């Protein structure tokens, strides 16, 4: 009898290593000469002087931590102001800030679903939405990626009294867009609620970066709930749920990741407010992200993306990993997406555009990618 109850972990580690799927943590330098095409700092705001100043001012006023859950001592005037400003910016009636985007998705879906509900999820939904579906205790149906007709059929056949449809607005691996207007039509026709994760849409899509929901003309619709993260385009940390006032009120009473989690730290709140202020004043940053993404896609030889994400599919995990390592050795940081993040056989370099990328940096990117991809020709571009 095996006396080591964790020996199976060694077997799994060996299997992952053989498949090219072993992961490791690499602390980044505070300052680096490498060009960053790996982070989600789409607007280049995480080091913006006003954003840093916003974080510092909040720490000096409120302290390093929020000291408790939002319902006890964890809510400050900064939190309420950020919720109001996010709602105004995106066209929602109200907002509620969570400690992370992951927590926002878990809280929203689990509180709005339940045992007597159906949740329909896109096959390419982010892991946080997948986990939210699993924890919701609802019946979950997975629709093929971007297939509105399939969603309509699932909703039409339901026996549950309530239903949610959940989707990303911009899918994080491929950078493609959800058909939000069509999804909202079939969701409304079925008397269901549409939940849209704008993690990769906020700050990039829509007028001045107001998101794909706003761009689709759906902002403020009473049967639509938006979740978002503050850790990407806004360069900070945290998450939010935006929607009708009664949705906010319900989440305060019922969302476990809100009730039982420590509130978002004041520094993150102050930084997010400052970043939102910069975006309001400089809306051209959103358009600049898409322009840079188009340039990077041309350099990489893939289709022009509708978002900040340029996906260069190379196939096997080992090929993508070696390509990412070769880029890093040449001073270019890129993302490397392998299973289970993406399906087997579609491992890729995930390149993310930033609004503040300059011509000199694009020149280096061109040289490095030409060299690295010369023997690893991309298999496909970004989906249409």
Each residue's pLDDT tens digit, 203-240: 999 999 999 999 999 999 999 999 999 999 999 999 99
| Percent of the chain clearing pLDDT 70 (strictly above) | 98
- Annotated domain spans of the chain: 49-281, 283-373
Q: In whole angstroms, what is the distance from residue 284 CA to residue 263 CA?
A: 32
**Contact between residue 317 and residue 19 where contact means Cβ atoms under 8 Å apart:** yes
pTM (two decimals): 0.93
Q: In whole angstroms, what is the distance from residue 338 CA to residue 359 CA?
A: 30
Which tokens belong to 190?
């079925």
Phi, psi of 328 (to 5 degrees): -65, -40
Q: Let me know if 4 is exposed, middle or buried by CB neighbors in 10 A (0-12, 13-18, 19+).
A: exposed
pLDDT digits (tens, 9 = 90+) for 284-302: 999 999 999 999 999 999 9
- The HSE-up count of residue 78 (CA atoms within 13 Å, CB side) is 26
Q: Give the residue carrying structure tokens 């629709």.
A: 143
pLDDT reported for residue 18: 87
Band (pLDDT 50/70/90 cuts) for residue 95 is very high
CB atoms within 10 A of CB 220: 17
Band (pLDDT 50/70/90 cuts) for residue 379 is low
Q: Identify which of 33, 141, 89, 35 has the alpha carbon closest to the alpha carbon of residue 286.
A: 89
pLDDT reported for residue 167: 98
Helices 284-300 and 266-281 sit at what angle, rounded to 10 degrees? 90
The average pLDDT across 180-192 equals: 98
Q: Let me know if 15 is exposed, middle or buried by CB neighbors in 10 A (0-12, 13-18, 19+).
A: exposed
Q: In whole angstroms, what is the distance from residue 46 CA to residue 292 CA?
A: 18
Q: In whole angstroms, what is the distance from residue 312 CA to residue 384 CA?
A: 14
**Contact between residue 179 and residue 384 where contact means Cβ atoms under 8 Å apart:** no
**Residues β-bridged to residue 122:** 143
pLDDT reported for residue 212: 98
Angle of CA points 246, 251, 255, to nearest 5°: 160
Q: 1 pLDDT exceeds 80? A: no
Q: 102 pLDDT exceeds 50? A: yes
**Contact between residue 201 and residue 63 where contact means Cβ atoms under 8 Å apart:** no
Mean pLDDT estimate for the chain: 95
Task: Outline where DSSP puts E strands in the chain.
Answer: 35-37, 94-98, 117-122, 139-143, 162-168, 193-197, 224-229, 239-243, 309-315, 332-337, 347-352
pLDDT digits (tens, 9 = 90+) for 19-65: 888 888 888 888 888 999 999 999 999 999 999 999 999 999 999 99
Q: Give the residue carrying structure tokens 């954003």.
A: 51
CATH topology of domain 49-281: 3.40.640
pLDDT reported for residue 383: 41
CATH number for domain 283-373, candidates 3.40.50.1860, 3.90.1150.10, 3.40.50.10420, 3.40.190.10: 3.90.1150.10
Band (pLDDT 50/70/90 cuts) for residue 123 is very high
**Contact between residue 97 and residue 81 where contact means Cβ atoms under 8 Å apart:** no
pLDDT reported for residue 162: 97
């Amino acid at each position: 009898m095996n006396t080591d109850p964790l020996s199976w972990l060694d077997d799994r580690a060996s299997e992952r290593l053989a498949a090219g799927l072993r992961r490791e943590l690499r602390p980044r330098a505070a300052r680096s000469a490498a060009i960053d095409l790996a982070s989600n700092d789409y607007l280049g705001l995480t080091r913006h002087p006003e954003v840093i100043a916003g974080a510092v001012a909040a720490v000096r006023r409120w302290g390093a931590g929020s000291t408790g859950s939002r319902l006890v001592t964890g809510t400050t005037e900064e939190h309420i102001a950020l919720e109001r400003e996010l709602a105004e910016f995106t066209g929602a009636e109200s907002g509620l800030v969570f400690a992370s985007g992951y927590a926002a998705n878990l809280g929203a879906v689990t509180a709005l679903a339940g045992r007597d509900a159906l949740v329909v999820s896109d096959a390419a939904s982010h892991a946080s939405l997948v986990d939210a579906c699993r924890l919701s205790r609802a019946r979950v149906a997975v629709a093929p990626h971007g297939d509105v007709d399939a969603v309509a059929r699932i909703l039409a056949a339901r026996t549950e009294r309530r239903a949610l449809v959940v989707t990303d607005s911009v899918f994080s691996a491929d950078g493609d867009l959800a058909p939000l207007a069509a999804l909202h039509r079939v969701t409304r026709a079925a008397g269901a609620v549409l939940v849209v994760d704008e993690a990769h849409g906020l700050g990039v899509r829509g007028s001045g970066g107001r998101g794909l929901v706003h761009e689709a003309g759906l902002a403020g619709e009473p049967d639509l709930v938006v979740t978002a993260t503050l850790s990407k385009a806004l360069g900070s940390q945290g998450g939010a749920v935006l929607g009708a006032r009664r949705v906010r009120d319900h989440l305060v009473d019922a969302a476990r990741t809100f009730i039982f989690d420590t509130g978002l730290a004041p520094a993150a709140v102050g930084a997010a407010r400052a970043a939102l202020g910069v975006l309001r004043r400089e809306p051209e940053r959103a358009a600049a992200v898409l322009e840079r993404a188009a340039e990077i896609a041309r350099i990489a030889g893939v289709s022009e993306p509708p978002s900040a994400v340029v996906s260069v599919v190379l196939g096997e995990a080992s090929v993508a990993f070696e390509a990412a390592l070769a880029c890093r050795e040449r001073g270019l940081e890129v993302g490397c997406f392998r299973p289970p993040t993406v399906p087997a056989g579609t491992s890729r370099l995930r390149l993310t555009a930033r609004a503040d990328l300059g011509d000199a940096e694009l020149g280096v990117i061109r040289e490095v990618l030409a060299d690295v991809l010369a023997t690893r020709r991309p298999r496909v571009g970004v989906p249409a």
